[in-house]
Amino acid sequence: SQFLYAIETVLVSTSFSFNGQFYEQIFVRPMGSPLSPVLTDIVMDDLETHCLSLLSFNVPLYYRYVHDIFNIVSRSKIDEIVSTFNNYHQRLTFTHRTESDSCISFLDMTVIRSNGRLLTDWYRKLTCSNRYINFYSKHPFKYK
């Protein structure tokens, strides 16, 4: 169909120049391409539908934002999930983190397990200085 032909044309047109040399990206889509996030979402949707159906158990809590995944399962099931997702395609590699002291970070949140409930707080990196630009400073408005 014309739609698939158009997508294929965009996907194979990934050449660029740097310091007078021409290069072509072979395996990844350019970060600035408007099509990249859409294709990422399509692949991730197919991946999770396929992989979750192969698991020997149901995942009770599963959230995804773009390519970051948060789920809650018993520790004994983690290896099966990671292995199943890593077998989807040879160029996709998934890793995992487990909670520490009943806390785990996900995106800009810290998820805290307390008394059978999940609580959230802002996640701050160790390098966070909590310094902000004064609203009345002469910095451009878009940075305030």
Number of domain units in the chain: 1
Domain that holds residue 111: 100-126
Does residue 144 have a pLDDT over 90? no
Residue 95 lies in a domain: no
Q: What is the mean pLDDT of residues 44-54?
A: 96
Residue 16 lies in a domain: no
pLDDT tens readout for residues 99-134: 999 999 999 999 999 999 999 999 988 898 888 899
pTM of the predicted model, to two decimals?
A: 0.74
pLDDT tens readout for residues 36-47: 888 889 899 999
Residue 79 lies in a domain: no
Residue 65 lies in a domain: no
Rounded to an integer, what distance in angstroms lies between the CA atom of residue 32 and that of residue 30? 6
CB 97 within 8 Å of CB 68: no
Residue 94 lies in a domain: no
Residue 121 lies in a domain: yes
Does residue 54 have a pLDDT over 80? yes
